Amino acid sequence: MFSALPTAQFLTKIRGLPRLSVEMIEETGPVFMLGFMSDGGFFDEMWAGGEAARSPYAAFHDWITDEDPARLRAKQREAEEVFRLTGITFNVYGRKEAEERLIPFDIVPRIISGREWQKLSRGIEQRVVAINAFLHDIYHRQEILKAGRVPKEMIAGNEAFLPQMMGVMPPGGIYTHIVGIDLVRTGEDEFFVLEDNARTPSGVSYMLENRETMLRMFPELFAREKVRNVSNYPLRLQKSLAESAPSGTSGDPTVALLTPGIFNSAYFEHSFLANNMGVELVEGHDLRVVDGRLCMRTTEGYKAIDVLYRRVDDDFLDPLNFRPDSTLGVPGIFDVYRSGAVTLANAPGTGISDDKAIYSYMPDIVEFYTGEKAILQNVPTWRCSDPDSLNYVLDNLEDLVVKEVHGSGGYGMLVGPAASKKEIRDFRKKLETRPSNYIAQPTLALSTVPIFTKNGLAPRHVDLRPFVLMSPKGIRITPGGLTRVAMKKGSLVVNSSQGGGTKDTWVLDD
Amino acid sequence: MLGKTANGLYWMFRYLERAENNARLIETGQRIALTRSGATTDEWTPVMKTTGTDAAFSEKYEAVTKESAIDWMLRDAENPSSVRSSIEAARQNARMVRTALTAEVWSAMNGCYIDVKSKLTRRVNERDLPNVLGLIRQRTALVRGATHGTMLRNDSYDFARIGTFLERADNTARILDTKYYVLLPTSAPVGSQLDNIQWETILRSVSGAAGFRAAYGQTVKPTEIVRFLILDKRMPRSLNFCCSKIRDNLGYLASEYGDKRKSHQMADDLCRRFMSHDVEAIFDYGLHEYIQDVVAALNSLGHQIERDYRFFA
Query: Which one of A299, A308, A309 makes the best mutation probe of the B interface by having the most chain B beta carbons within 10 Å?
Result: A299
Candidates B2, B253, B257; nearest CB to A296? B2
Q: Tell me how crowded residue B134 is: count the other CB atoms within 10 A of its CB.
A: 12
Quick one: CA dihedral B218, B221, B225, B230, positive or negative?
negative
Q: Tell me how crowded residue B124 is: count the other CB atoms within 10 A of its CB.
A: 19
- Which range is least confidently modeled, A4-18, A371-385, B149-163? A4-18
Mean pLDDT in residue range A268-296: 95
Chain B CB within 8 Å of residue A262 CB: yes
The Cα A492–Cα B278 span in angstroms is 76
The predicted model scores a pTM of: 0.86
| Contact (CB<8Å) A297/B313 | yes
Q: Which residue of A has its CA nearest to B98?
A: A271
Contact B17, B136 (CB under 8 A): no
The Cα A134–Cα A365 span in angstroms is 7
Element at A310 (helix H, strand E): strand A307-310
Among chain B, residues having any CB pair with chain A shorter than 8 Å are 1-6, 92, 95-96, 98-99, 103, 106-107, 110-111, 114, 155, 253, 257, 309-310, 313
| Contact (CB<8Å) B95/A262 | yes
Kindly report, residue by residue over A449-475, the tens digit of the pLDDT. 999 988 889 999 999 999 999 999 999
Q: Tell me how crowded residue A462 is: count the other CB atoms within 10 A of its CB.
A: 27
Query: How distant is the Cα of A87 from the closest Cα of chain B, in angstroms?
Result: 7
Q: Which residue of B has its CA nearest to A286?
A: B4
Q: Which residue of B has its CA nearest to A303?
A: B2
ω into A346 cis (within 30 of 0): yes
Measured in degrees and rounded to the nearest 5, phi and psi for residue A433 equal -70, -40
Mean pLDDT in residue range A306-335: 92
Candidates B98, B155, B257; nearest CB to A271? B98
SS3 content of chain A, % helix, strand, coil (to 5): 35, 25, 40
Kindly report, residue by residue over B134-183, the tens digit of the pLDDT. 999 999 999 999 999 999 999 999 999 999 999 999 999 998 888 777 77
- Provide the terminal-to-terminal Cα distance of chain A, rounded to the nearest Å: 30
Looking at residue A35, what DSSP letter applies? -
Closest among A472, A202, A301, A144 to B2, alpha carbons compared? A301
Res. A409 pLDDT band, cuts 50 70 90: low
The Cα B5–Cα A266 span in angstroms is 19
Name every residue whose Cβ is closer than 8 Å to that of residue A284 and which is 6 or more positions away in sequence. Answer: A258, A312, A326, A327, A328, A329, A330
pLDDT for the residue numbered B195? 65
Measured in degrees and rounded to the nearest 5, phi and psi for residue A415 equal -105, 95
- CB contacts, 8 Å: B103 with chain A: 86
pLDDT for the residue numbered A158? 85
- CB contacts, 8 Å: A260 with chain B: none
| Count of A-B CB contacts under 8 Å | 59
Looking at residue B229, what DSSP letter applies? I
pLDDT for the residue numbered B73? 95
The Cα A423–Cα A446 span in angstroms is 23
Query: How distant is the Cα of A226 from the closest Cα of chain B, in angstroms?
Result: 28
Q: Which residue of B has its CA nearest to A281?
A: B99
Q: How far is CA B274 from CA A53, B169, B287, B291, in A?
A: 77, 13, 13, 12
| Contact (CB<8Å) B114/A84 | yes
- CB contacts, 8 Å: A85 with chain B: 107, 110-111, 114
ipTM of the complex: 0.84
Indicate whether A221 pLDDT > 80.
Answer: yes
